[in-house]
Amino acid sequence: MTHWFCPYCVLSWLYPISKCPHCFGVVLNRDDKQITQVASVTTNIPSRFHSEVPYSISLFQNSYGDSWFEKICRNEEQSLQESGVFAEHVRNDFSSVVGTLFDHLRISFSAPTILIIPEVGRGDKQGKGAPHLGTAVHPSLVAGLVSYFQETYPDLSLCLGALNEVLLQHCVSLYSAVCPGCVFSVIPEKVSSDLFLIAVPVVHFVQESVVLCEDFSELLSRAAHFVVVVDCVIGDANGKPGFWNRVVGGQRWSEIVDYFSQFRGSDSLLSFHATTVEH
Ligand SMILES: [Zn+2]
């Protein structure tokens, strides 16, 4: 996790800040080197906004002395460990969230070209999604992925892709401003093994369950290397935007589908909300 700190006042923040409000000095940032769990308490009694029990609240501290709380739901912890699917709460820095996700998944990106495929529309292939409505991937997540690869794998070439020309035009209009230096192209029918696909579907609640874009399932079955990063920053909750502020990643489409299938039934939206890690 990244912290922002004032070198003069020894104050630190969990969110980006350019100037220290105390001394007006320039604030710097640093990544945690070593994180220690200082304390943890488990709660078995549900309350408003915390309906899923048991959950634990842990106090963490890094080697610089910065400390923070994290809420972890037991169900989420168990299902994640069993399935190889990981959920990361987005704090402020999308690039480090994506980095943490890939660290958990232990992926090494070896193919020479990274092809990021954000979901930009649904259904009839003409439907144009909007990030603020949860029907297209949030530009900050695309920007975070791009800056992660530019910083961590500067030798790999980066490309943004879409399934057809219409979706590609919409993809360019949504993300060209946040992806300097990226090439945009339609995904070829035959996916070469030189491509590492980063499939980025958006979470959609349709009535009482999560539905993921099936186009990805078909596409990934043709790919040699891929990872799925599901955008749950703003998702589509029965036609309205739902704010969950997290990303979910995995390397098997079926495991991702299984992970979301636990949110099914009349309280699925509520229970999905409850598994969000809060700070
Ligand atoms: Zn200061």
Domains detected in the chain:
2-69 (no CATH), 84-274 (3.40.50)
* Amino acid 122: pLDDT: 65
Residues, Cβ < 5 Å to ion ligand 1: 6, 8-9, 20, 22-23, 25
Q: Tell me the pLDDT tens digit for each residue of 237-278.
A: 888 898 888 899 999 898 899 888 888 887 788 778 777 655
Residue 33 Cα to ligand 1 middle (Å) = 23
Whole-angstrom Cα distance, residue 118 to residue 202?
A: 8
CA 151 / ligand 1 centre spacing (Å): 29
Closest alpha carbon to 131 in 117, 123, 121, 116 = 121
Distance 19 CA to ligand 1 centre (A): 8
Distance, CA of 6 to CA of 11 (rounded, Å): 5
Backbone φ and ψ of 51, nearest 5°: -80, -25
Using the predicted structure, report yes or no on whether residue 230 has a pLDDT greater than 90. yes
Sorted by sequence, the CB contacts under 8 Å of residue 253 that are 6+ apart come out as 216, 217, 220, 221, 228
End-to-end alpha-carbon separation of the chain, Å? 13
Smallest CA-to-CA distance from 59 within 35, 88, 93, 86 is with 35
d(CA 143, CA 150): 10
Q: Chain-wide mean pLDDT for the chain?
A: 86
CA of 10 to the centre of ligand 1 (A): 7
Please tell me the predicted confidence (pLDDT) of residue 17.
87
Least confident of 57-71, 197-211, 247-261: 57-71
pLDDT recorded at residue 83: 63
Instruction: Give 245 Cα–ligand 1 centroid separation in angstroms.
Output: 29
What pLDDT is stored for residue 123 in this prediction? 47
User: What is the CA(32)–ligand 1 centre distance, in A?
Assistant: 20
H helical segments located in the chain = 74-83, 94-105, 139-152, 165-175, 214-220, 253-261, 268-274
**Ligand 1 centroid from CA 168, angstroms:** 46
Confirm whether pTM is higher than 0.75. no
Whether 279 shows a pLDDT value over 50: the answer reads: no
Encode pLDDT of 94-142 as tens digits: 988 999 899 888 888 888 999 999 999 864 555 788 999 899 999 999 9
Per-residue pLDDT reduced to its tens digit, 133-190 = 899 999 999 999 999 999 999 999 999 999 888 889 999 999 999 988 889 999 988 8
Say if residue 14's pLDDT is above 50.
yes
> Could you give the CA distance from residue 251 to residue 109 in angstroms, rounded to a whole number?
13
